[in-house]
Amino acid sequence: MQYVLSDKEFEMFRSLIYDTCGISLGISKKELVKARLTKRLNKTGIKTFNEYYNFVTKIDKSGKELIQLLDHISTNKTDFFREKKHFDFLNTNLLPALISSKEQSRNRKLRIWCAASSSGEEPYTLAMTVFNHIKPNNGWDVKILATDISTRILQKAMDGTYKMDLLNDVPPGIVSSHFSKVLVDNANCYMAKPHLKDIITFRRFNLMTEQFPFKHPFDFIFCRNVMIYFDQETQNTLVKKFYGCLPKNGYLFIGHSETLSKTDNDFKYKQPAIYQK
């Protein structure tokens, strides 16, 4: 069915999306928003965007439709070993140094936050990278918190099952160590093995949350390819909150197309898209 999205209605959704999850959409995104929200109109049987807006903001007190709306608006592009230089840095610099200093202080805990983890490729890559240095069940307590605003994409991440071609570029030895072959709907897939899944906790978390609820700092944070959707003010606030979640010398990884150079922050630049507290 064809629906009409007026400029005024677009503006209503634009503000709602910005206020709720920080994604800043210019008028050039009107057709994209229309196409993505049309799916919800079709699904709910609601006939106009205006009625849909009222449903989301006034009628649906459960907030479930707002979650659906955000699920449809978010862009979830990701990949295994995306921006490989970050994983090279983890392998050659950060993880050996961190593990040796923690061994010395007898603190065998590693805490990693993968903020905006999308469908899981990024946290599973982090887990595989950690296992290059720490073997499963050898006395280390490793936890990766993987969060995203989209419940739909988190469900996919928790399933941990991927079409085989998504792992085409990962060396076969690495794939066979960490994934099992499974058949899903007659398609050959790989499923993450329990030792990967066991160290990752997937949770819905909105990066716009005013006070981050984490009691303990993370050794490092990955927040890649999401700040690009936020305006400068939102990025400033978020980067300050990340700073507060890291110990001295902790690292923040952002996407290579992102930069902290325009944000007001106390991080030291280490390498492209890598910053240290």
Ligand X SMILES: C[S@@+](CC[C@H](N)C(=O)[O-])C[C@H]1O[C@@H](n2cnc3c(N)ncnc32)[C@H](O)[C@@H]1O
Residues found near ligand X in the complex (CB under 6 A):
21-23, 74-78, 82, 116, 118, 122, 148-150, 153, 206-208, 224-226, 255
The torsion angles phi and psi of 253, rounded to 5 degrees, stand at -105, 130
Smallest separation (angstroms) from ligand X to the CB of 116:
3
Say how far apart CA 22 and CA 114 lie, in whole Å: 18
Q: Where are the beta strands (DSSP E) in 58-186?
A: 109-115, 141-148, 161-163, 179-184
Contact 212, 241 (CB under 8 A): yes
Say how far apart CA 276 and CA 197 lie, in whole Å: 28
Closest CA to 87 of 49, 69, 114: 114
Contact 264, 235 (CB under 8 A): no
Q: Which residue lies nearer to ligand X by CB, 47 or 85?
A: 85
Smallest separation (angstroms) from ligand X to the CB of 276:
20
Q: Which residue lies nearer to ligand X by CB, 67 or 207?
A: 207
Smallest separation (angstroms) from ligand X to the CB of 149:
4
Q: Which residue lies nearer to ligand X by CB, 117 or 265?
A: 117
Smallest separation (angstroms) from ligand X to the CB of 76:
4
Q: Which residue lies nearer to ligand X by CB, 110 or 207?
A: 207
Smallest separation (angstroms) from ligand X to the CB of 233:
14
CA 138 to chain centre: 28
Q: Which residue lies nearer to ligand X by CB, 153 or 199?
A: 153
